[in-house]
Structures are given as C-alpha cells and as structure tokens.
Amino acid sequence: QNNISQVLKNLNILDLNPAYSTGNEWGASPDAQILNSDSPVNGKNIARCKMATTENYNAIIIKAEEAHSYWRSIPAPKRGEIIRQFGDALRKNKEDLGTLVSYEMGKSLQEGFGEVQEMIDICDFAVGLSRQLYGLTMHSERPSHRMYEQWHPLGIVGIISAFNFPVAVWSWNAALALVCGNVCLWKPSEKTPLTAIACQHIIAGVFKANEIPEGVCNLIIGDKVIGELMTNDSRIPLISATGSTRMGKAVAVAVGARLGKSLLELGGNNAIIISEHADLDMSLIGAVFGAVGTAGQRCTSTRRLIIHESVYDTFTAKLVKAYGQLRIGDPLDQHNHVGPLIDTDAVAAYLNSIENCKTEGGNFIVEGGVLQGQAYTSGCYVKPCIAEVKNDYKIVQHETFAPILYLIKYKTLNEAIALQNGVPQGLSSAIMTLNLREAEQFLSAQGSDCGIANVNIGTSGAEIGGAFGGEKETGGGRESGSDAWKAYMRRQTNTINYSNTLPLAQGIKFDL
Ligand code: UN1
C-alpha cells in the first residue's frame, strides 16, 4: 500500500482529480458528479475523479479546434520530435505507470509493464512515420501535367478506450493521430480513469517543455453521456472506439448517420487450431497464456481450442495439469499468473456464462468458481475453467470477457477452419502445426477469416508493427502498425498543369 501511495504521488494522482484537461490546464464544474476508482486487486478506493459536464465538453472542443489550426501547421517531423520526447517520458515512468495499470485494472505487473512498453514502441514507430506519411505519384494522361496525392490531417480525433488496455490503446491512436497533425480528445473507460489521468500528466509535461498550446491533447472523464456527445458531434471527423460489439454498433450508427469516419476495435472469439502435427509443449504455453493471461480480458484472448482428435486426449491432459499449477491472486505479486476480473459485474457475467454453457450441454473438465478468503476480498478473483462444447452453442458464439476456455474436437483441417471461422467475430486466430501445407492453407484465402492469423504463436500478444484489428463483428478497423496511420488522415489528389494549354481529360474537346 505504501508503494502504491508513492506511485500515485509520482504520477500526480490526487485524492480527488479534475474532470478534464486540455494539456496543462485542468478543470471541473462545481456541481460535478464524482467517479470512484476502486481497485479490483483488494476492493479499496484508489482515488476519485470529477466527471465532465456538457458545458465542459463544448469548451474543450472549441479549444481543440483552435489548437488544430496551430498543430497542423507544424512540420510532421517536428510533431514526431514531440512524440519522441513523450516516448522518453514513458520510459522514465514505466515502472510507476505499469504498476498503476496493474493496480487499477488488475492485470499482472509483468503485463502492466508490457502495456507501457507497447506505448513506448508505438511512439518510436510514430517518430519514424513522421518523416514518411507517403503519398503516391502517378502519371497523367495529359502532356506536361503531374499528378500526385498527399495526406492531410482530419482535425479532432475522438478516442474512446476500454478498461482492459487502459493506456496502450489510447497511445496507439494518439501517437499516430498526433504525428499526422490531428488533435485528440480521449474518453477513457469509467473503470480506469486514473491511468488516463497519469498519461495526461506525462504528455502535458512534454508539451509544457516545448511550449505547445492547450487543446492538442485533451482528456475528458465521463460516462455514456460524453461518449454520445462525441459520436454525434460532426466537429469530430473520426471516432476511434474500442470495446464491446454492442457499444461499437451504437458508435457506428451514430457516426455513420453524420457520415463521419469510425475506427472500431470490438469483440473477438479467438481460436487456436491444435493440429495433429503440432508441437504440443509449445502449443500448451500459447493456449494457456492466451486463455488466462489478463484473466481472459484481452480482445485477443484465446476463447476456443480446436483440437485434432488424435492428440485430443494427450493435449487436454496437459492442459488440465497446467491449469492445476496456475497461481491466482494479487497481480502485483510476480509469483501469480492470474489476477482479478475488473469488477463484480464481470464476475457475474462469468458465472452466468458458465451456467449457460452447462445448460447447453457443456462438460467442464476444469471447474470454475469465485475464490473466497483473505486474499480475495475484492470478490473479483475467479478460477480459469475449461469446458468441452459444440461450436454452435449460443454461449460459444458469444464473447465472455473472462477466463473460460472452450474445447472442440476436429477430424479434418477443412472442418477445423470452418469451426474457427464459424463465429460472428473475426479478430485473431492461430494454428499450431509443423506441417507446411496446413500452415499455408490456414493463411490462404480459403483459411482464417480473421484480421490476425498466426502460425505457432497464440492469438494474443500482437506486436505494434503490424496492423491490429479484425473483420465481421470485430468492426473492421486497423490500428497501430503498417499503414494504419491512413485512417487518421484524408487523402487529397492533386493534378498540376505546367503546359501553355488546358487539355481536358478523357480527350474531351471544348473550344471557346
Ligand atoms: C486488446 O485486447 O484490446 O495483441 C488489445 C494483444 C495486445 C493488444 C490487445 N498487444 O494481445
């Protein structure tokens, strides 16, 4: 607890924090509602925040619009230099911020540090990008004409993030959006406001040192009301939202109705195919980390194992043994593998899914349940469990954000691929095989229908260098690496005539 007080102090977290920030200025209304942040680790209140009002929101948008006129005129490599300094500031704060992520969200300390590392990595990536942001040049059909395209910033980018990666997903969006010349407005999850406030203090320190005006990077603490103001606001050309499919559909409808752009990262229902040609020991690590890491609360968590009948018994025996060795408890204690779920609502959803699975005929080979006792007073610690199921059970088609792993047996690879694809979601997928034909078929157009498809790696833990996201109900958005930056810019095609005449395209004659 002493350690946590020091961490909060180092990160400038107060007992009662303001509702919004435009950079170095923070504020709240006198009649602001209060949001509590309680730790799932021990149920204790960490700190409180004020919540923003509609008036606060409108004032931020006006600041942000002003700031955009300034920020878009700064050369991209200079914007990159600011992000380079932000990456350095994150390196200095990695230990504290990673610890707060672990304490406020409940993931293991290692994963908390890993999350901050993802932030540092995306900053490095964005710095490189800031000297690229390439457009193409193309040949004109007309003589003495030149055609090319360039990429311009959009304006205000709205970022709505989830509790499970409370800081990294914001940074993927913000680092790219900022080097692209946008300004940002971040609404973090109500379940993890403090890690967001900590990040805002870190980036604001960099802005202050560089005399960047207010309004470039904004934070707003609020609930659904603020989320709806953002999605309906045509002053925000792009909304990037991470969360449930239900939330994403509401965002898509609101943003679509005003013909805005949305970038959606929604639910997954990720499977690993364990082939008869798999290295079973390697598969075991991928499957167990994928299913129980972050207590099954990643959008890339492994929800289903599709196992070849010839290795089914051997592999399930290994799984059951591994689950028996899992240490569940305080995530800040590095001996533990699995921490708590985010809150007691999540525990209720976990229990409900187990019940539904049993009703549909699921056979639990590792039983679940809520842990009780001194070490588990928050009521958020649950046992990772495993059930043998059919892929078409309603509960198996649904993403439960908890450590429940479903096992399905298969005979042929075609059948396994059909099972893997036979869910509404399409985020991450994997095959464990040492057989080249199988691996290539899985990656081909006849193979996985997901945004991420891996061979001999589990479904979670993607690197930032690739584009991250998925198909179908996962929402279709791509964030982070590759050319995901294009989502944060508008493309402009330019044709320049340096001849003495004005020839029309398509050979049209128009003489005056
Ligand atoms: C998420 O769960 O919202 O690939 C993001 C992974 C992490 C990111 C997960 N790098 O598991």
Q: Which residues are CB-contacts of 267 (< 8 A; sequence separation ≥ 6)?
A: 244, 245, 299, 399, 425, 427, 473, 474
pLDDT for res 410: 98
- Which ligand 1 atom is nearest residue 463's CA? 10
- pLDDT digit string, tens, across residues 397-424: 999 999 999 999 999 999 999 999 999 9
pLDDT beyond 80 at 170: yes
pLDDT beyond 80 at 270: yes
pLDDT beyond 70 at 2: no
On whether the CB atoms of residues 156 and 138 are closer than 8 A, the answer is: no
Q: How far is the CA of 53 from the centre of ligand 1 (A)?
A: 31
Q: Residue ranges of the alpha helices (H) in 293-402?
A: 309-324, 344-359
Q: How far is the CA of 165 from the centre of ligand 1 (A)?
A: 7
- Which ligand 1 atom is nearest residue 265's CA? 3
Q: How far apart are the first and last CA of the chain?
A: 83
Average confidence (pLDDT) over 466-473: 98
pLDDT for res 95: 98
Q: How confident is the model at residue 192 (pLDDT cuts 50, 70, 90)?
A: very high
Q: How confident is the model at residue 1 (pLDDT cuts 50, 70, 90)?
A: low
Q: Is 265 a catalytic residue?
A: yes
**Which two structure tokens, joined as six digits, stand for 492?**
């402009």
Question: Based on the number of CB atoms within 10 Å of its own CB, is 3 exposed (0-12), middle (13-18) or buried (19 or more)?
Answer: exposed
Q: What is the dihedral of CA 79, 186, 462, 202, to 10 degrees?
A: 60
Pocket probe mutation, ligand 1, options 113, 300, 301, 427, max atoms within 8 Å of Cβ: 300
- pLDDT digit string, tens, across residues 331-355: 999 999 999 999 999 999 999 999 9
- Which ligand 1 atom is nearest residue 468's CA? 4
Give the Cα separation of 340 and 300 in Å (integer): 18
Predicted-complex ipTM score? 0.97
Q: How far is the CA of 298 from the centre of ligand 1 (A)?
A: 6
pLDDT for res 202: 98
Mean pLDDT of the chain: 97
Q: pTM of the entire structure?
A: 0.98
| Residue ranges around ligand 1 (CB below 6 Å) | 118, 164-165, 169, 242, 298-300, 460-462
